[in-house]
A and B are shown apart, each in its own frame.
Chain A
């Protein structure tokens, strides 16, 4: 009974709150006032054409250098996210599955992951993870994304295929168990089998306590990761929000519809 009360209170609470977010990259305004609220347990999909600001949004949330917030706020569990260093955001439970995961030569995947787990534990005031417990967790999670054990010993992302890199991102997420995950075009460059594996991994992690922001160009991924809400991002602003059916509509009509109005505006200005 008590568990139920806790769960229901969490459901009503706000996990991520983005208010009137404006951001520039190299002096160019990319985000033009984004508002978004994600509650625990929800999966939100952000869709939009190339250059609409999808990846910028992911990078601003994660705190990447070079992305300047000029206006607005982001709160994570009521805390001001923009005040935190990227590693602090991660330790608070924020995870970004990268669109282009980088290679770190000479650093074994397993070693890297352990360093990450221990960094988070240290932040929480917990002792370093027990070696055996960690090994068990890693093996359990590896199955989730059907990852081969040899990938643990290989250097982080070095020589990984596109599919292996994305799988590795979801694997890291499964081990780190963040409370909120942003998936930045995790589907790009994946064939249908790899896409299913990645989606299965994400679905296995869905829980009433965890929130997701799934960024994608195509509707295809959302056949497998079914979102609660879909938002259309265009010219740095959310122009439309709806349920999962919005994704299907976009698939049929494309983004051209949203292109007309600003196109006319540009012509008029000229």
Chain B
């Protein structure tokens, strides 16, 4: 254990020695959704009129839309009037008083993942002041980034400090009328992240939501906007491998990425929200719209996702390849077990000349899990010499689970080259026995084989994240064989 962790542990267990507790009234709007609620949200956030107007237009459009039914997922009807659409960031008094009050199962998970104590406390929403250390770390990073002209802040702050950027790009990739959930988000979004990398700047560190702790707990209708100007590059990490305490069942986030000429954006996600219990009760509905626009020449957007949580995952991180020679990539591992359902994939829309895209999707189903890959590769008439390679592999564990592949290919330019490979396999008895004969236990053998299966995707993750993702998959598969 490092010194700093020990210090944090002392702080965390020292009975509020450095603590001061203030009772803060919960700032929550009653359930229900109408224009008044949207005006209230906007007013509370002291938003400019144009943004309120944008929200209202979205809301009016949402009223005319139908919830999509095409995904390969099943869930009871959501009563949107029963949800509360605004809750101010939860204050520290809100959570458990110490880690001892946390569900032991959750703590065991944290320990297995090797999450430092301080981080465990944050994730679990524990009211300990030891987290202040991390906040100061975050602040020092912020200073360094500011020197380079990089803007990395909460969405609300961006609306206040950089309204011209927000106004220019908000909804430019995912328009408010895009789809049911994106439209709902546009009307009621609470907060999220904003990143702007100025021309020619390579962001010197991975930007992570973790370093934005003070602005966390904005989960439900999160809105993220990342802009990389000409020649800029950035790697952004979303989420965390640990299960986060969360009481919202419906998550409808929107992420928009914009890459200008020669810009590169790498967006990595590890999603491990509450999947529901072993009988399929509860769990998060994760209905997310993520899309990147390669607006400039030679720009590149790369999505990497490791989806292990949520009861239902419905997300298709996509790339619109408008700039000439632009590149889109999608690397995905989706794991479903118990009664989890995932319908995920990507859309690669080729518009510009010589645009290229790569899709690597790895689905793992265990227990009663249902895993669907759904992907669209669209080559428009303008996309001379477009290239796509897609590879979709499914791994089945047990005989109650399912894997489904729905590839859609739409080619409107004869010079295009589109390749699609798909495979479905099971972990074979022979593989397991081979490992066991070398001394490796059945469970370790399973994670070894599964990690091998996911390797192509894991290697796209930033190093530390990759190690965590690997541990997470191991943990998720515990008890799923034998």
What is A's interface to B at a CB cutoff of 8 Å? Answer: 62-66, 85-87, 89-91, 95-96, 98, 100-102, 104-107, 112, 115-116, 119-120, 123, 155, 172, 176
Q: Which residue of B lies closest to A59 (CB)?
A: B433
The complex places the Cα of A37 from the Cα of B284 at a distance, in Å, of 60
Given A86-B437, A116-B435, 13 further pairs, Cβ under 8 A: A63-B436, A65-B429, A65-B433, A87-B441, A90-B438, A95-B437, A98-B434, A106-B451, A106-B452, A107-B448, A115-B438, A119-B438, A172-B438
In the bound complex, residues from chain A placing their C-beta under 8 Å from that of B456 are 106
Chain B residue nearest in CB terms to A90 = B439
Q: List 30 A-B contacts (CB under 8 A).
A: A62-B433, A62-B437, A65-B429, A65-B433, A86-B433, A86-B437, A87-B436, A87-B441, A89-B437, A90-B438, A96-B437, A98-B434, A100-B430, A101-B434, A102-B428, A102-B430, A102-B431, A104-B431, A104-B452, A106-B456, A107-B452, A112-B448, A115-B440, A116-B440, A119-B438, A119-B440, A119-B444, A123-B439, A172-B438, A176-B438
Contacting A at CB under 8 A, from B411-435, are 428-431, 433-435
Interfacial chain A residues near B201, Cβ < 8 Å:
none
Least Cβ–Cβ distance between A61 and chain B, in angstroms: 10
CB <8 Å contact, B437 and A104: no
Interface residues of B (CB under 8 A from A): 428-431, 433-442, 444, 448-449, 451-456
* 8 residue pairs, one from A and one from B, having the closest CB atoms: A106-B452, A107-B452, A116-B438, A90-B439, A119-B439, A106-B455, A86-B436, A87-B436
Query: Are B453 and A116 in touch, CB under 8 angstroms?
Result: no
B437, B444, B453: the one within 8 Å of A115 (CB): B444
Verify A91–B437 contact, CB threshold 8 A. Answer: no
A107: chain B residues within 8 A (beta carbon): 448-449, 451-452, 455
Chain A residues, Cβ within 8 Å of B449: 104, 107
Decide if B429 touches A104 in the complex (CB within 8 Å).
no
Q: Which residue of B lies closest to A155 (CB)?
A: B452
Once the chains bind, are B436 and A90 in contact (CB under 8 Å)? yes
Secondary structure call for the B interface: helix
> Which of A62, A104, A105 is most buried by chain B, counting CB atoms within 10 A of its CB?
A104
Instruction: Write the nearest CB–CB distance from B448 to chain A, whole angstroms.
Output: 6
Alpha-carbon distance A120/B455, docked complex (angstroms)? 25
Please give me the residue from chain B that is nearest to A119 by CB atom. Answer: B439
CB distance from B426 to the nearest CB of A (A): 13
Cα separation A194 to B434 with both chains bound (whole Å): 23
List of B residues within 8 angstroms of A155 by Cβ: 452
Q: Which residues of A contact B438 (CB under 8 A)?
A: 90, 112, 115-116, 119, 172, 176
CA of A119 to CA of B443 in the docked complex: distance in angstroms? 12
Among A102, A119, A176, the residue within 8 A (CB) of B441 is A119
- Rounded to whole angstroms, the CA-CA distance of A96 and B456 in the bound complex is 30
Task: Determine whether the beta carbon of B433 is less than 8 Å from that of A64.
Answer: yes
Distance A20 CA – B430 CA, assembled complex (angstroms): 27
Q: Which residues of B contact A89 (CB under 8 A)?
A: 437
Are B451 and A116 interface neighbours, CB within 8 A? no
Q: How far is the CA of A123 from the CA of B438 in the complex (A)?
A: 12
